C-alpha cells in the first residue's frame, strides 16, 4: 500500500491546500507526487468528476503559484484498487523559492516538504533560496514534444544568407541544461500547439464577430509573418484624388503597426500558455500580449526605448531573420508617431490600441474620396441580400470577402447580410469557416 513520505502526499478531495502542497514539492530538492482521491491512510475514495477536477487543478497550479510552473508538473489519471484517482507529478523547480501568489514571498506563502508534512519556510530560508535563484526562462522549460523538426526555420535563415549547421540547436539556445529541446525550440519548430488569433468585428465592440482566423501550429516566425500580412491587408488605404495629386493614408501607420506586432509576439509571456491576440474593430486595431511588465521593469523603463527582452532567445532569432532590425528600436518607432496613451499596461497584460485616423484633407466629404478597402457601399441591403443569395446558389463555398469583391458591395455589408440570413434560417453553414460551404434552405410554397 502507498504511504505518505517526503515525496508523497494524499488528499481525499481537492481542497484549499492544493497550492500549499504543490509549492512545498516545487521547493523540495526531489519534487514529489500528490494524489487526489486517497485518504490519509492511502485508501482510495475516488474522484467523482475526473476530467473536471484535473482541469481545475491545472488552472490553479498555473495561476496561483509563482514563479511560472510551466513544464514542472503533470496531471494524470490513475487507479488504486480499481478506484480512479488523480496523480500530480511535481518536479523540483529551478527558480526557488516558489510561493502562493496571494500570500507573496513570505512564510505564509513559501512552504517546503519536511517528512510527511509541508512546513512554512523561515525568512532566512527564503532569503537564502532567493539569493541562489536560477531564473527560469523559456530556455529552461522542456518542450512538450521532443520530436521537433526545423525546416521552416532553416529556410528563413537561408533567405538571410545564413546556414544552420548541425549544432544550431545549441548555438540558438534551443536546449535545456540537460540537452532536451526547450520551449523556445517548441515555438520555432515546424509543428507545435501554439496559435495566434486575429479577430475582426463589424462594430466598435465585440458583439458582432465577422472573422476569427488562427495563425500558428507552425514556426513562430512563419506565424508572425502571416499575422503581419493579414493586418497589412486590413490596414486599408484611404485615398483622395485632387487635380494635382493623389493623397493616400493608411488607417494605421504601417511602421508602428509592424513594430507593435513584433513586440506583442516576441515579448509575450508564453510560459502562461496564452499567446498574443490581435483584434480589428471598425474604428481601431487592438494588440494584446500577456504577462505585463518584466519583473523589475517600470513603466518609465518600458517607454525609455531600452531593450529589456522577456525572451532574449526569441529576440535573437527574430533579429537573425530580419524581423527585428535593432534591439530597442521598436518602441522608439511607435512613439515617433503615436502618444504613450495608446498603451494600457496592467499586471497581466500590455495592450496597444491604434485608432483609425485619416487627415482632414483625405477624410472630408469630397466626392473624390475613396476607400480602397471597399468598406462603404451604395447598394441597398435588400438588393445586396438578393445578390448574395443568387451568388451562393452558384458558389456555395464563397467567402465573405470573395462575394464582396465579385458583387461590388462592401465587406461589412456582406457580413451583415450573412448574419441576418443565418439568424432567420435562410442559410446554414456546413463545416468549418475555411473548408465548409453555405446551404440555402428554400422556403416551401
Return the CATH number at 389: 1.10.10.10
Question: HSE (CB half, 13 Å, CA atoms) of 263?
Answer: 30
pLDDT at 367: 40
pLDDT at 242: 56
pLDDT above 70 coverage of the chain, percent: 87
Closest CA to 250 of 398, 125, 372, 153: 372
- Give whole-number Cα distances, 179 to 163, 173, 193, 271, 316, in Å: 22, 10, 22, 20, 20
pLDDT category at 245 given cuts 50, 70, 90 is: low
* Assigned domain for 399 exists: yes
- d(C-alpha 239, C-alpha 369), whole Å: 6
Q: Work out the widest C-alpha separation in the chain, in whole angstroms.
A: 91
- Whose cell is 535593432? That residue is 326
- d(C-alpha 373, C-alpha 404), whole Å: 10
How many Å separate Cα 421 from the centre of its chain?
33
Q: Is the pLDDT of residue 361 over 60?
A: no
Give backbone dihedrals phi and psi of 373, rounded to 5 degrees, phi first: -80, -5
Using N-to-C axis directions, what is the helix angle for 254-266 and 312-320, rounded to 10°? 140
- Give whole-number Cα distances, 138 to 166, 177, 183, 268, 317, in Å: 22, 12, 5, 11, 14
* Assigned domain for 123 exists: yes
Average of per-residue pLDDT across 89-118: 92
List CB contacts of 161: < 8 A, sequence separation 6 or more.
none
- d(C-alpha 421, C-alpha 392), whole Å: 12
Same domain membership, residue 279 and residue 317: yes
- d(C-alpha 79, C-alpha 220), whole Å: 39
* Assigned domain for 366 exists: no
Residue that terminates a domain, selected from 322, 355, 388: 355
Same domain membership, residue 146 and residue 115: no
pLDDT at 375: 47
- Whose cell is 468585428? That residue is 201
- d(C-alpha 122, C-alpha 142), whole Å: 31
Same domain membership, residue 117 and residue 14: yes
pLDDT at 98: 94
- Give whole-number Cα distances, 236 to 239, 283, 333, 357, 359, in Å: 10, 12, 21, 11, 14
Same domain membership, residue 427 and residue 411: yes
* Assigned domain for 25 exists: yes
Least-confidence region, from 224-233, 255-264, 436-445? 436-445
- Between 41 and 433, the more confident residue is 41
Same domain membership, residue 166 and residue 131: no
pLDDT at 27: 92
Which set of grid coordinates corresponds to residue 329?
528600436
Least-confidence region, from 22-26, 38-42, 130-134? 130-134
Average of per-residue pLDDT across 178-194: 95
Q: In the chain, how many domains are there?
A: 4
Specify the 3-state DSSP secondary structure of 317: helix
pLDDT at 363: 44
pLDDT category at 135 given cuts 50, 70, 90 is: low
Which set of grid coordinates corresponds to residue 89?
507529478
pLDDT at 439: 87
Least-confidence region, from 157-171, 172-186, 189-203, 366-380? 366-380
Q: Is the pLDDT of residue 46 over 60?
A: yes
- Between 369 and 387, the more confident residue is 387
* Assigned domain for 1 exists: no
* Assigned domain for 365 exists: no
pLDDT at 443: 57
Least-confidence region, from 71-80, 119-128, 170-179, 300-309? 300-309
pLDDT at 364: 39
Same domain membership, residue 428 and residue 294: no
Q: Using one digit for the tens of pLDDT, what is the confidence trace for 17-39?
A: 999 999 999 998 888 999 999 99
Q: Is the pLDDT of residue 382 over 90?
A: no
For residue 75, what are the domain limits? 8-136
- d(C-alpha 188, C-alpha 181), whole Å: 11
pLDDT at 108: 95
Q: Using one digit for the tens of pLDDT, what is the confidence trace for 287-318?
A: 999 988 876 567 887 887 555 677 878 888 99
Q: Using one digit for the tens of pLDDT, what is the confidence trace for 400-421?
A: 777 877 777 777 788 888 888 8
Closest CA to 269 of 288, 296, 246: 288
Whole-structure pTM value: 0.63
Across the chain, mean pLDDT equals 85
Closest CA to 275 of 196, 186, 200, 187: 196
Amino acid at each position: 500500500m502507498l504511504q505518505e513520505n517526503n515525496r508523497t502526499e494524499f488528499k481525499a478531495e481537492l481542497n484549499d491546500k492544493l497550492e500549499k502542497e504543490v509549492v512545498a514539492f516545487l521547493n523540495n530538492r526531489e519534487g514529489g507526487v500528490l494524489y487526489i482521491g486517497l485518504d490519509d491512510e492511502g485508501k482510495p475514495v475516488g474522484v467523482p468528476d475526473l476530467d473536471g477536477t484535473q482541469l481545475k487543478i491545472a488552472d490553479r497550479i498555473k495561476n496561483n503559484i509563482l514563479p511560472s510552473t510551466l513544464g514542472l508538473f503533470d496531471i494524470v489519471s490513475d487507479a488504486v484498487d480499481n478506484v480512479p484517482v488523480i496523480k500530480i507529478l511535481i518536479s523540483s523547480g529551478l527558480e526557488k523559492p516558489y510561493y502562493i501568489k496571494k500570500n507573496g514571498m513570505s512564510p505564509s506563502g513559501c512552504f517546503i516538504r519536511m517528512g510527511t508534512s509541508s512546513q512554512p519556510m523561515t525568512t532566512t530560508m527564503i532569503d537564502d533560496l532567493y539569493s541562489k535563484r536560477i531564473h527560469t526562462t523559456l530556455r529552461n522549460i522542456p518542450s512538450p514534444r521532443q520530436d521537433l523538426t526545423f525546416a521552416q526555420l532553416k529556410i528563413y535563415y537561408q533567405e538571410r544568407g545564413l546556414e544552420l549547421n548541425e549544432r544550431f540547436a545549441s548555438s540558438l539556445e534551443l536546449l535545456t541544461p540537460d540537452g532536451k529541446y526547450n520551449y523556445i525550440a517548441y515555438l520555432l519548430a515546424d509543428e507545435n500547439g501554439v496559435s495566434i488569433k486575429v479577430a475582426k468585428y463589424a462594430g466598435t465592440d465585440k458583439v458582432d464577430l465577422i472573422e476569427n482566423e488562427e495563425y500558428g501550429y507552425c514556426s513562430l516566425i512563419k506565424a508572425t509573418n502571416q499575422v503581419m500580412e493579414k493586418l497589412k491587408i486590413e490596414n486599408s488605404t484611404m485615398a483622395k484624388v485632387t487635380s494635382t495629386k493623389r493623397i493616400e493614408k493608411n488607417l494605421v501607420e504601417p511602421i508602428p503597426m509592424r513594430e507593435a506586432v513584433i513586440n506583442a509576439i516576441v515579448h509575450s509571456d508564453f510560459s502562461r500558455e496564452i499567446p498574443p491576440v490581435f483584434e480589428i474593430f471598425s474604428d481601431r486595431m487592438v494588440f494584446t500580449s500577456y504577462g505585463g511588465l518584466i519583473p523589475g521593469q517600470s513603466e518609465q523603463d518600458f517607454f525609455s526605448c531600452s531593450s529589456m527582452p522577456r525572451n532574449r532567445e526569441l529576440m535573437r532569432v527574430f533579429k537573425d531573420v530580419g524581423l527585428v532590425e535593432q534591439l530597442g528600436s521598436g518602441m522608439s518607432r511607435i512613439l515617433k508617431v503615436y502618444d504613450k496613451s495608446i498603451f494600457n499596461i496592467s499586471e497581466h497584460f500590455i495592450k496597444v490600441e491604434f485608432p483609425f485616423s485619416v487627415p482632414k484633407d483625405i477624410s472630408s466629404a469630397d466626392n473624390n474620396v475613396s476607400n480602397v478597402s471597399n468598406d462603404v457601399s451604395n447598394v441597398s441591403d435588400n438588393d445586396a441580400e438578393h445578390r448574395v443569395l443568387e451568388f451562393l446558389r452558384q458558389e456555395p463555398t464563397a467567402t465573405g470577402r470573395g462575394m464582396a469583391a465579385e458583387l461590388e458591395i462592401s465587406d461589412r455589408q456582406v457580413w451583415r447580410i450573412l448574419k441576418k440570413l443565418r439568424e432567420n434560417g435562410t442559410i446554414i453553414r456546413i463545416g468549418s469557416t475555411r473548408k465548409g460551404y453555405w446551404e440555402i434552405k428554400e422556403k416551401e410554397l
